[in-house]
Structures are given as structure tokens and as C-alpha cells.
Amino acid sequence: TVRVEDDRTGLDIETLKRAFLDNLFYIQGKFPEIATQNDYYMALAYTVRDRLFRRWLNTAETYSKQGARTVCYLSAEFLMGPHLGNNLINLGIFDTVKQAMTELGLDLDELFEKEEEPGLGNGGLGRLAACYLDSLASLETPSIGYGIRYEFGIFDQDIKDGWQVEVTDKWLRFGNPWEVARPEWEVEVKFGGHTQAFTDEHGNYRVLWVPDKVVRGVPYDTPISGYKVNSCNTLRLWAAEATDSFDFDAFNAGDYSGAVFKKMESETISKVLYPNDNMTQGKILRLEQQFFFVSCSLQDMFRILKRQNIAIERFHEKFTIQLNDTHPTIAVAELMRLLMDEYGMEWDKAWSIVTSTFAYTNHTLLPEALERWPISLFGSMLPRHLEIIYEINRHFLDDIRIKFPDDLDRLSRMSLIDESGERYVRMAHLACVGSHAINGVAALHTKLLKQDVLHDFAEMYPEKFVNVTNGVTPRRFVALSNPRLTRLITSKIGGNWIKHLDDLRQLEKYVDDTGFCSEFRTIKHEIKQDLSNYIKGLYDINVDPNSLFDIQSKRIHEYKRQHLNALHIVTLYNRIKANPDIDITPRTFLFGGKAAPGYYMAKLIIKLINSIADVVNRDPDVRDRLKVLFMKDYSVKFAQRVYPAADLSEQISTAGKEASGTGNMKFAMNGALTIGTLDGANVEILEEVGAENFFLFGLTAEEVSQKKAAGYNPQDFYSTDPELKLVIDRISSGFFSHGDTELFKPLIDDLMYHDQYLLFADYRSYIDCQDRVGLTYRDQDLWTRMTLLNTARTGKFSSDRSIQDYIDNIWHTKPVSIDLKE
């Protein structure tokens, strides 16, 4: 008998080719002769999506039948990156599909380039959410990611005359083959208006919320495959649409443009991602976005309960909800409202369900990122929620009084309402009170949270605090981004490490194997060559793959200190100018990252880097020993090229400021050495890889606080370190700005008179450490040994380990394995 594989599920090469050509014809409506690369990409995406559907539907059905306990990960951002390559890896069909495309005369890498990535996040927090979805599915954990389907994600970054220019992101322009709209599960979300108390038929006090605006939330689902398992979970993103009744009323009244305006106004809610990282802007629309997706998601959970015939009283057994930072924290009040106002539950019972359901992850210690909403704004948008928050606060303040009698200061410090001036709702406090677990994202961060920002809460609820150090998915950030390294590792220790990253430790035994080390080094060199070619194509700049690739890619922020890196470049340049024959290790300095559009200093840092690049790259004295490039429009797609090509990873934030960092992990896994401070997860990376394989410099978090307390004066360093003085003077003199002494003045004055992030205090230690880096790089055997040990010892930083920590310590969910029905 001839067995023909099903066109939509089969995985062999002939079936894949046939399915691909079918999709090109029937979905894209093209003959191969006239199809564009985008048509081919779409046809392939649909071919892969078909294969996911079988897993996805069976997964949903199994979870539903079993009523499985489910993790709901609520996040205002999911920075997913391109889906195609990742799904090929997870389905285990990467090589087959590559071969199929080659046989059809197509290049898989070119098709990858066609995918518009959903840039629905700013940086670390959103990318972490995406890594966690990958691990949740890979660990067969029932879960749903809930967020917002922003029509415009993070802006595209262009660089004009050295300055950042923002360009609108149009990721949906050519359609999104990975999502499925589920209008049948839409919900309505209320805003504004007033509340009315009444007594119900049983004589109970009840509240009715009469809104003045109602918006529809329509879910768009994306399948999230797990690595080499059948599990396929869901990312459910909500789009805002106007309710029909609005259009209708206005239309009947003859006000057509009014109706259209209302429609537009409603749809604005999911229009655009706020482009701030670690900074809150306090905009009304942002609070609307937060409430919108939270209310949609909670209503969706009630729908699921109903469909699975689970009693409302068991909400917290069915769902565990993780709040990704305070952005979704209004969920605490919304779940109270739904339980009480919609389902008639009494306060104590509802509160017990709420606090058993939520857990809160804090991602930052920076005061400017802590969300608080003016009471007036909050009350006019969410009048019922403000009442509920006042009531939660009343109970909470009573609890404080009992635990800490007669401590008025403590009451005002901890209250959910800040009453020190204009009154605000403090979202982090609401998250702490409404959750049964509170976690920081690296050991140092959790410690500092307990010591400082959430100190009172740690005293009040010591049992709630746990640490979960962040992690990253080795599927995307090694297997997909670095196929050469993946093949080499797998050839030695087998492929299990992609699922059990601790297995990388087995590589340690090759550290003295010269053949292996030389292959390891050759691979890095080839990848650097690829990046050089890419850069040549994009910028027409030659960068030498033999030079040390020194890379800092992350959001631009003063605390991350890209300008400290710039001071190092100018230091080396000055040394060359003073002595053109000086023997220095050739380096290529690469930067990538976006600045928030309203963050002037960050934008000036980008301009500074580009201005330094202009001078350094063309000065004949430099003789190509230094190259500086700001790579525009950093994205997940581009990051995947960058991590594997790095020799040195710059993780140089002021100690105590970077909650964790995750780029630091991606670089180290790919065999870059870190130059870093004892900040965030650097501390744990150093612990794992060993101090001898890490370039450590700078003040500790404790020393930073002490220095500030003692009255830090940056000029003490400026006046006593001649190299630092020369660097600052050269920048101030207009040397890098065509003689313009005003351009960088705001940045220089800030360093000279404030230097909040202690660049001057750390400068000498950084420069000396960089000198050690340069020397070490000359000993290629030693360098390779160190890089190999970095790769071998980064198993801890797999997001699988992080997710397992969440499961063991916070969520207590069980894996559910999925059978595929024929």
C-alpha cells in the first residue's frame, strides 16, 4: 500500500515541499514564477503553522478535559522575536525544511529575513516574558500568556547625522500568519462613569458600576510551541475595538463622524506600545491599556472556568496569575470586583481567592519606574476600583497597626495611597498586598528589594519573598542563533543540553583538548566574519574579524553606562594620539539599542558614540586598530546575529541598578567573556563561571550607597586622574563635535557636577580592567579556554531553570503531557 502523509501534518521532505507549494497557490494566490520572497515566507509560515495546529488543538483539548491548573502570565509586553525559525527548532524540522527550501531553489535564511518581528516590548522585561513562554511550553506546563496586541510595537530606529530618529513600526503591514482571531471570545470592558450602592434580594449590600464608556476586547491567539514536546500553549493578545452600540446610537442620531470618532477613540487603546524602559510616564492611555488587557484576561478566565464546569470558588485552584511587574496590578482590584459585583461573593472569601491567585515579580529598583497613579485620574477612569482599593487599604492598615502598634510613619510609608502631597495609588504596594509571593529577578536584586524599596513589606510579610533569577531560552539564543556552535557541542556531548542546559558542564572536559578548542575558536571567527560582512553591506564599513569584538547592546540608559564605554574608547584613542606606535590590541566597539524618544540624555549618548566613531574611524593615526559602530535598530532578530559574534560582553551598570540583565546570559552562553560590575545577575554569572573567567571591576552596591551617603564629588576623580581629565577635556573642547563646545555640555556637566551613576568613581577600575582584557585577548589559547568555560558553565541561566523555580516555589503546577491523536 502507498502511504501518503497528510499535507498539513506530515514532516517528511516531499510532504513539506508539496504543502509549501499548495500554500503558495491557495493562500498567497501565486505561481512560483511571480511569487516574491515575502510570498514564499508566508507560504512557509503557513506550512509550519499547520503543523503546530495539530499540537495546539490537542493541547487545548487535553487541558480542558483535565481542568489542568494553569499559569496565566500577565504582561504588558511580549517581545517575541521572529516565530518561524524558533518553531522549526521546536518542531525538530529545521534541517528538513532547510533542505526542502534548497530543493525548491530558495534560501531559508533569506526567508527568515522577510519576517517582520512583533516588537511588542521594550527590552528585558518583554523579552523575559517571551523566553518564559518558550520554557513553559517546553516543560509541558499549562499556561496562557495574556497581553496587548499593539498595532504599533516598539519604533524602528534610524540614525541621522548621529542622532536617533524614530520611525513607526508597521509589523502588521503584510499580515501576521501566526495569529488567529477569536472574535467569538470577545469581552466588554467598562471605563469611567460612577457607582451606585443597592441592596439585593437577599438583603446584601451590593454595588453597581455604571460606566460611561464600553470597549470590546478581541483576542488574537498565537501558538507557542515547546521544544521537542507535543505541548503547544497560547499567547492571547487583546485588541481594542469599538462596541457596535456606540456606532449605532451615534449613527441613528445622524452623527456619522461622531460614531467614527468614538470607534477610533476605543481602538486607540491597543494602538501603540509606550516606548519607555524602566520609566513610567503616568499617561491616562497607559492606565487604560493596563486595565483593558487585565479585565479582558480575567473575564476570559471566568469563561474558561464556566466551560470546564469549575466552581467560581475554585478560581485560585484552576489559575495562578503572575504579574509581570506592576503593569497588570490593577488585576487585584478587578478580580475583587468581578468576584463580588458580578458573582455576588462576600469580601473575605473574595480576598482569600485573590491573594491565593496572584504573585508579583518586581523588575526594577529605579524610583522613576515605580508606578503610581494620581487619585483623581484613577478615580475618574475606574471609580469602582478606587473604592475597592480604599477598602483593601482599610483592612491592610489595620493589619499593620496590629503587627506594628503605634508606628504612624510606617502606616504612611506602607499605605496603598501616597498622601505626602498630591494623592496617588501606589501600584507596587497593591501588588505586594494582593499577592502571596513577591519575587526579585536575581539574588542581589531580591536582597536589595528586601533591604530598600520593599523593606517594610519584607518585615510585614517575610514569608512572601522569594528570589527567582532570570533565565533565557537556549532554543532561540543558542540552537537557533548559533547553529555552528550547536553542531559542535552536539557532536561531543549529544543534543540533550538544549533541553537540560546544565549538561553543558560536560564540555569542561574538552578544555585541554587542543583540537576542540581550535574548532571552538574557528567557529567564533567565522561568525565574526559573517557579522563583518553584514556590517559591510549595511554601513559600508570594514571591521576586522581578527580584532576583539567588544559589544554593548541593550536599551540606552544612563544607569547602563554606555557613556562609560565611550570614555574607554576615547582613552584608547588619546593613547594612540599621544603615541601613534603604541602597541594596543585591535578592537571593534559595537553598540546597539534604542533610547526612549523622550529621554534626552540617552539620545545624547547615542550622538556622542556616533561622533566619537566619526573621528576615530577616519583618523589615519588609528590605523584601523579601533573601530566604533553604533548599529541601528537593534531588535530580537538582529540580537540573534550579535550574541554569537561577541568576544567581550559589556555589562557595566552601576552596581545596585540593573535588576538582573538577560543579555549578559545570552552573551556568556555563546562564549563571550563578560566585563562587568557586581550588579544584577552578573554576580551569579561570575559565581558560575569562576572569577578567573570574568573581568570584574567597579564599586559594589554597598560601596555605591556608602559613597553617595558620604557626599560623592566626581571632581575628586577628574582632578586626580590625568587620563580621565584628558578624556573629558577632549569631549568638552569640541574635538568630537566639529569644534562645537555646547553639544555635549549637558552630558559632561552632568558627569562633572552630579554623576548620579558614578562613572568617574568607576573609571579607573574599568580602564585597568579593560587593559587586562586587551592583554588576555593576545593569548588566544587562554582566551579560548576562558570562553569555553563560560559556555560550559551557564546552564543555570536557562529559562527552564527559572520556570522550574516558579513552579516549585510559587505556582505549584503539574506538567501535562500531550498525546497526538491520529
Show which residues are catalytic: 363, 554-555, 560, 662, 666
- DSSP letters spanning 626-668: EEEEEESS--HHHHHHHHHH-SEEEE-PPTTT-S--SHHHHHH
Q: Which H/E stretch holds residue 213?
A: strand 213-225
470 belongs to the binding site for ligand DL6 (CB under 6 A):
yes
Residue of 662, 784, 802, 813 interacting with ligand DL6 (CB under 6 A): 662
User: SS3 for 237?
Assistant: strand
Residue closer to ligand DL6 by CB (options 434, 680) is 680
Provide the 10 A C-beta neighbour count for residue 250. Answer: 18
679 belongs to the binding site for ligand DL6 (CB under 6 A):
no
Q: Least distance to ligand DL6 from the beta carbon of 815, Å? A: 24
Q: Least distance to ligand DL6 from the beta carbon of 261, Å? A: 32
- CA 280 to chain centroid: 16
55 belongs to the binding site for ligand DL6 (CB under 6 A):
no
User: Contact region for ligand DL6 (CB under 6 A) — 49-57, 122-130, 227-235, 610-618?
Assistant: 122-130
Cell numbers describing residue 76: 504588558
Give, in degrees to the nearest 5, the angle at Cα 620 between 614 and 625.
80
Residue of 553, 660, 732, 791 interacting with ligand DL6 (CB under 6 A): 660
User: Contact region for ligand DL6 (CB under 6 A) — 629-637, 655-663, 706-714, 764-772?
Assistant: 655-663
Task: Calculate Rg over the CA atoms of the chain.
Answer: 27
Q: Least distance to ligand DL6 from the beta carbon of 802, Å? A: 10
Which candidate, 175, 289, 301, places its Cα nearest to that of 234?
A: 301
Q: How far apart are CA 104 and CA 762, in angstroms?
A: 56
Q: Which H/E stretch holds residue 354?
A: helix 347-357
Q: Cβ-closest residue to ligand DL6?
A: 124
Q: How far apart are CA 661 and CA 447, in angstroms?
A: 16
250 belongs to the binding site for ligand DL6 (CB under 6 A):
no
Which DSSP state fits 720?
A: H
Residue 35's contacts (CB-CB under 8 Å, 6 or more residues apart) are: 24, 28, 43
- DSSP letters spanning 535-586: HHHHH-----TTSEEEEEES---GGGTHHHHHHHHHHHHHHHHH-TT-----
Q: Least distance to ligand DL6 from the beta carbon of 599, Å? A: 13
124 belongs to the binding site for ligand DL6 (CB under 6 A):
yes
325 belongs to the binding site for ligand DL6 (CB under 6 A):
yes
Exposure string over 666-703, b if 16+ CB within 10 A, otherwise e: bbbbbbbbbbbbbbbbbbbbbebbeeebbbebbbebeb
116 belongs to the binding site for ligand DL6 (CB under 6 A):
no
Residue closer to ligand DL6 by CB (options 62, 640) is 640
277 belongs to the binding site for ligand DL6 (CB under 6 A):
yes
User: Contact region for ligand DL6 (CB under 6 A) — 361-369, 372-380, 597-605, 786-794?
Assistant: 361-369
661 belongs to the binding site for ligand DL6 (CB under 6 A):
yes
Q: How far apart are CA 42 and CA 462, in angstroms?
A: 52
Which candidate, 607, 580, 577, 578, places its Cα nearest to that of 591?
A: 607
664 belongs to the binding site for ligand DL6 (CB under 6 A):
no
585 belongs to the binding site for ligand DL6 (CB under 6 A):
no
Q: Least distance to ligand DL6 from the beta carbon of 806, Å? A: 13
- CA 248 to chain centroid: 41
802 belongs to the binding site for ligand DL6 (CB under 6 A):
no
Task: Supply the angle between the helices 799-806 and 124-138 in degrees, to the nearest 10.
Answer: 80
Residue of 164, 233, 290, 364 interacting with ligand DL6 (CB under 6 A): 364
Q: Least distance to ligand DL6 from the beta carbon of 173, Å? A: 27
Q: Least distance to ligand DL6 from the beta carbon of 579, Å? A: 39
User: Contact region for ligand DL6 (CB under 6 A) — 166-174, 389-397, 657-665, 797-805?
Assistant: 657-665
Q: Which residues pair with 320 in a beta bridge?
A: 71
Binding mask 367-396 for ligand DL6 (x = CB under 6 A): --x---------------------------
User: Contact region for ligand DL6 (CB under 6 A) — 123-131, 164-172, 536-544, 690-698?
Assistant: 123-131
Residue of 338, 441, 548, 639 interacting with ligand DL6 (CB under 6 A): 441
Residues that bind ligand DL6 (CB under 6 A): 123-125, 128, 277-278, 325, 363-364, 369, 441, 470, 658-662, 680
